[in-house]
């Protein structure tokens, strides 16, 4: 089953890289293949400082080890002391234009082993959207595609994983969501919904394959919009929230660092240009204030 999952992930990585490269004429995706001393390795593919993308990366990793790190076992004590194998795709896109949202997608598969016991396996992943100057119709479209990714798996699936994304992509020290959410799921196995391996794998594929269906049209619609220094300054200030979340709360970042992954690949998710300001506040009634007042709060966008 690992071979099936790996083939899908590598094909998804290639598809996303092809989509990204279509927008760039002057810069090309850098490909780094790397090995992890403790077991496994990966392929990092990154596009930097382009006309459309400040940074866009699509990472594949397939690693193994003798013990899962604490980021995995803290909420799953049954995994402690087990050997593991993990593979996944992680993509983070930071566009140049402040009117185009940052976005993130990750899908992954884990197996944990112990002598004389059945392996434990599970899937996880999701995607979320982080706009700086949000458009309501774009947010609705994003969630419509997220719902579409779930619709063949039962009516309860989208609201469950949409709510999980709202809770997961949240900065408690700021009391705000990272963006407008999307989907997040973890520990998906035969006990979650009663699905067998094939259906769990099919759901992971649906999430991964709907990501560009959700993001590509938003990118195409907004990347040529005119903007000025004010919008760029706000984008870089808000990117600081992305840094805070990824370095403090993100499970994938913590797992990668704790498991001895390749640091350059793990921190590919961070924006190349970002600023931090002391006690900055948006002007009342401004476009910037609208983001805080309406969009950085969990809500039912499709109501």
Is 62 in the active site?
no
Binding residues for a divalent metal cation, by number, are 94, 104, 143, 173
Is there a contact between 128 and 165 (Cβ–Cβ < 8 Å)?
yes
Q: Which tokens go with 284? A: 């009342």
Q: Which tokens go with 23? A: 């927008």
Q: How far apart are CA 281 and CA 277, in angstroms?
A: 9
The sign of the dihedral angle between the CA atoms of 183, 256, 132, 294 is positive
Q: Which tokens go with 18? A: 């092809």
Give 139's contacts (C-beta < 8 A, 6+ positions apart).
129, 131, 180, 295, 301
Binding residues, by number, are 90, 94, 104, 106-108, 143, 173, 260-262
**Axis crossing angle, helix 197-222 with helix 2-21, rounded to the nearest 10:** 10
Q: Of 28, 49, 75, 104, which residue is the catalytic one?
A: 104
Binding residues for substrate, by number, are 90, 106-108, 260-262
Q: Please, is 148 exposed, middle or buried when counting C-beta atoms within 10 Å of its C-beta (0-12, 13-18, 19+)?
A: middle
Q: Which tokens go with 232? A: 């760029």
Neighbours of 164 (CB within 10 A): 16
Q: How far apart are CA 279 and CA 2, in angstroms?
A: 49
261: left (phi over 0), alpha (psi -120 to 50) or beta: beta
Active site residues per annotation: 104
């Amino acid at each position: 089953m690992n071979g099936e999952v790996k083939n899908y992930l590598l094909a998804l990585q290639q598809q996303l890289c092809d989509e990204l490269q279509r927008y760039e004429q002057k810069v090309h995706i850098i490909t780094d293949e790397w090995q992890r001393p403790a077991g496994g390795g990966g392929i990092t593919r990154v596009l930097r400082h382009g006309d459309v993308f400040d940074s866009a990366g699509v990472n594949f990793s397939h690693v193994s080890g003798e013990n899962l790190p604490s980021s995995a076992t803290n909420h799953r004590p049954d995994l402690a002391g087990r050997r593991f194998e993990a593979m996944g795709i992680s993509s983070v896109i930071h566009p140049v234009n402040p009117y185009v949202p940052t976005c993130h997608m990750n899908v992954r598969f884990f197996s944990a082993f112990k002598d004389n016991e059945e392996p434990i396996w599970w899937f996880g992943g999701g995607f979320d959207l982080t706009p700086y100057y949000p458009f309501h119709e774009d947010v609705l479209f994003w969630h419509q595609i997220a719902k579409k990714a779930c619709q063949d798996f039962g009516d309860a699936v989208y609201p469950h994983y949409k709510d999980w994304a709202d809770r997961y992509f949240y900065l408690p020290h700021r009391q705000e969501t990272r963006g407008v959410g999307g989907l997040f799921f973890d520990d998906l196995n035969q006990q979650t919904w009663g699905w067998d391996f094939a259906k769990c794998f099919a759901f992971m594929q649906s999430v991964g394959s709907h990501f560009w269906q959700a993001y590509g049209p938003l990118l195409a619609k907004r990347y040529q919009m005119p903007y000025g220094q004010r919008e760029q300054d706000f984008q870089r200030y808000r990117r600081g929230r992305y840094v805070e979340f990824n370095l403090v709360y993100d499970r994938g970042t913590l797992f990668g660092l704790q498991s001895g992954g390749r640091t350059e690949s793990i921190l590919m998710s961070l924006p190349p240009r970002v600023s931090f300001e002391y006690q900055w506040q948006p002007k009342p009634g401004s476009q910037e204030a609208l983001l805080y007042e309406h969009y950085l709060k969990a809500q039912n966008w499709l109501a």
